[in-house]
A and B are shown apart, each in its own frame.
Chain A
Amino acid sequence: MSEQAPRELPEPGPPAAPQGRVLAAVAAGGALGALARYGALVLWPGGGGFPWTVFFVNVSGCALIGVLMVLTVERGRVTHPLVRPFLGVGVLGGFTTFSTYASGVSDLLVRQEALTGLAYAAATVVAALGAVWAAAAGTRTWLDRSDRGSRGSRGEGRAA
């Protein structure tokens, strides 16, 4: 049943589900994601300098969306139409934040901590992209391996 023909670019567009339910799922996920981020900031408020908590929130959220998008849009392993609105757009979108990141960089620049500000700006971009890439690649490899495993017999598939 799952002939995974490589699809076209998975467009970050809306999945097919009634609009009201999608919005409700996005809102519920957004509330949870924002709360989780707030909780992390309450637990680890930091004290000026490099905003490590926001950094780790954003990087971990990027890793998780890499896994989620491969499982849903790319490979169709999870097909419920509300999974992506709830977990992707809602929870992970609400958990990670661009505004707090930009504001953190701006604060550091205004406080004449330009080096830390630039390091924070660049490190977040590099770590976030690295995380989403590694998580997506890892999930693809894992799915490919489990496919090969379930297809069964040894001695098969060593053609190349």
Chain B
Amino acid sequence: MNWLLVAIGGAVGAPLRYLTDRAVQAHQGPGVPYVFPWGTFTANTAGSLLLGLLTGAAVSSPAHALLATGLCGALTTYSTFSYETLRLAETGRAFLAAANVLASLLAGLGAVFLGAELAGGFGG
């Protein structure tokens, strides 16, 4: 049963990430070169916040499978994050590459903490 819920969550999370990325890029305006990967950053931070909320709320196992493992797992990505970082480094933008790693890590961690706090503390 949980398998199905994970698949459904994944089938929603991945397109959400894709649409987020497109929306963020469109927001940067036509002709503006796509430099810092804000789209992936936004999806990763939003997914981490949602996962923090779910963790703090201690949701049931089916809800966890659907929303945490499926939705949040697929809304966020490590593969695109690392490839975009590699491209920044390979095109002579080492500072932006490092900034992307640090900012993503700090924002993701902060979002998980914030979500868990908002949802009622770390299960204490």
Contact = CB atoms under 8 A, between A and B. Distances in A.
Interface residues of B, number: 60
Contacts of B25: 13
A92 B122 contact: no
Given A31-B8, A35-B6, A65 B83 contact: yes
Contact of B14 (A27, A100, A121): A27
Interface string B45-85: 00110111001000000000100111011111111111111
A64 B47 CA distance: 22
Interface of B: 2-3, 6-15, 17-19, 21-22, 25, 34, 37, 39-40, 44, 47-48, 50-52, 55, 65, 68-70, 72-87, 91, 101, 104-105, 108-109, 111-113, 116, 122
6 contacts: A9-B87, A12-B37, A34-B14, A102-B105, A106-B113, A129-B82
Given A30-B11, A31-B14, A102-B44, 8 more contacts: A12-B39, A38-B65, A58-B78, A62-B82, A89-B14, A92-B80, A102-B108, A136-B83
Given A31-B10, A97-B78, A133-B86, A12 B21 contact: yes
A135 B70 CA distance: 27
A37 B82 contact: no
A34 B51 contact: no
Contact of B18 (A26, A61, A92, A110): A26
A17 interface: no
Closest 7 pairs between A and B when the two form their complex, measured CB to CB: A30-B14, A34-B10, A102-B108, A98-B76, A96-B78, A94-B74, A65-B79
B11 A27 contact: yes
Interface of A: 9-14, 22-23, 26-35, 37-38, 41, 58, 61-62, 64-66, 69, 85, 88-90, 92-103, 105-106, 110, 121, 124-125, 128-129, 131-133, 136
Contacts of A102: 44, 48, 51, 105, 108-109, 111-112
Contacts of A38: 2-3, 6, 65, 69-70
